């Protein structure tokens, strides 16, 4: 799968590393920990950030034998938005048996975990602190017409996207969307707030967006984009002034 090839360069260790009783599987690479995202240090330089384990797991095509029992690339879409609480015991066991051992062990030990998926990629955020963060991942499709609807953009974001070459436009629109989606999740509002009310067109890979709150208030949310493959856009959001930061591990099969 093309997206798996794009991730291979980032993964020098297997996710089974350090799991007692687990032997390395042939063909599995070792995970490269990504530097954790800094907290909003410009506001709180003396506050240490609490790391939240986040696993990025690409899911390739199932082998022909037993394909019906494997987690498929399209199956990741169906898991998007689920958590430990929303899957029954049988579904949790089925999923964990099909993920790398280190991911399964972390999920089994965590009191809470959340799943975010797009075609061919599953993101697992573990621990109670994941409840206070927002995550969003989308695949970027190299098409002439945007896959992500432009209706989610503000007027300024639309003008910015319109000024880009067609090859860049879909990625930029997708980037704006995952920022908004992650920020709305971080404050617990989801799509009860129209995405076009959130301005997320900041030019750098991180910034603060304001999400409309009750009674005319505004909630500041720190959002950062992470790039682990040209095929995807991924954003993590934390309401300010919480000092939480993702601690990543990558995986390949």
What is the spatial distance between Cα 238 and Cα 223, in angstroms, rounded to a whole number?
7
5: phi then psi, degrees, rounded to nearest 5: -60, -35
Please identify which residue in the block is written with the tokens 């410009």. Answer: 42
Task: Say what the pLDDT of residue 251 is.
Answer: 54
Lowest mean pLDDT among 44-58, 59-73, 105-119, 128-142: 59-73
Whether the Cβ atoms of residue 83 and residue 95 lie closer than 8 Å to each other: no
User: Which of the four pLDDT bands, split at 50, 70 and 90, describes residue 68?
Assistant: low
- Of 22 and 216, more confident: 216
Distances in Å between the alpha carbon of 188 and those of 48, 58, 100, 193, 225?
24, 27, 30, 10, 19
What is the spatial distance between Cα 40 and Cα 15, in angstroms, rounded to a whole number?
29
- Of 38 and 237, more confident: 237
Paired strand residues for 250? 56
- Of 148 and 99, more confident: 99
Domains and CATH numbers, the chain: 2-19+49-62+71-250 (3.90.470.20)
How do residues 122-170 score in pLDDT, each as one tens digit? 999 999 999 999 999 999 976 645 555 668 899 999 999 999 998 789 8
Q: Which tokens sit at 156?
A: 């300024």
How do residues 232-250 score in pLDDT, each as one tens digit? 999 999 999 999 999 998 7
What is the spatial distance between Cα 159 and Cα 129, in angstroms, rounded to a whole number?
36
Q: Chain-wide mean pLDDT for the chain?
A: 80
What is the spatial distance between Cα 132 and Cα 82, in angstroms, rounded to a whole number?
15
What is the spatial distance between Cα 8 and Cα 229, in angstroms, rounded to a whole number?
10
Task: Say what the pLDDT of residue 60 is.
Answer: 87
pTM given for the model: 0.78
Task: Say what the pLDDT of residue 19 is.
Answer: 37
Query: What is the average pLDDT across 72-81?
Result: 94
* Cis, peptide link before residue 241, omega less than 30° from 0: yes
User: Which of the four pLDDT bands, split at 50, 70 and 90, describes residue 117?
Assistant: very high
Whether the Cβ atoms of residue 18 and residue 53 lie closer than 8 Å to each other: no
What is the spatial distance between Cα 48 and Cα 243, in angstroms, rounded to a whole number?
7
Task: Say what the pLDDT of residue 74 is.
Answer: 93
Tell whether the model's pLDDT for residue 205 goes beyond 60: yes
Task: Say what the pLDDT of residue 156 is.
Answer: 93
What is the spatial distance between Cα 165 and Cα 244, in angstroms, rounded to a whole number?
36
Whether the Cβ atoms of residue 59 and residue 76 lie closer than 8 Å to each other: yes
Query: What is the average pLDDT across 3-8?
Result: 32
């Amino acid at each position: 799968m093309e997206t798996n090839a794009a991730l291979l360069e980032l993964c020098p260790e297997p996710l089974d590393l350090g799991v007692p009783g687990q032997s390395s599987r042939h063909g599995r690479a070792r995970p490269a920990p990504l530097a954790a995202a800094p907290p909003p240090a410009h506001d709180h330089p003396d506050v240490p950030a609490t790391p939240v384990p986040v696993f990025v797991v690409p899911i390739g095509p199932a082998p022909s034998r037993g394909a019906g029992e494997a987690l498929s690339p399209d199956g990741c879409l169906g898991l998007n938005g689920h958590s430990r609480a929303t899957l029954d015991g049988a579904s949790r066991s089925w999923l964990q048996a099909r993920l790398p051992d280190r991911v399964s062990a972390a999920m089994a030990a965590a009191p809470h975990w959340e799943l975010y998926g797009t075609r061919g990629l599953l993101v697992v955020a573990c621990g109670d602190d994941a409840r206070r963060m927002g995550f969003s991942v989308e695949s970027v499709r190299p098409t002439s017409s945007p896959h992500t609807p432009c209706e989610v953009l503000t007027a300024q974001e639309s003008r910015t996207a319109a000024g880009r070459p067609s090859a860049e436009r879909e990625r930029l629109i997708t980037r704006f969307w995952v920022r908004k989606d992650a920020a709305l999740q971080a404050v617990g509002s989801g799509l009860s707030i129209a995405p076009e009310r959130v301005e997320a067109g900041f030019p750098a890979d991180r910034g603060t967006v304001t999400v409309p709150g009750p009674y005319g208030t505004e909630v500041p949310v720190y959002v950062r984009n992470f790039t682990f493959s040209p095929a995807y856009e991924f954003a993590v959001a934390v309401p300010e002034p919480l000092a939480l930061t993702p601690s990543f591990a990558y995986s390949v099969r």
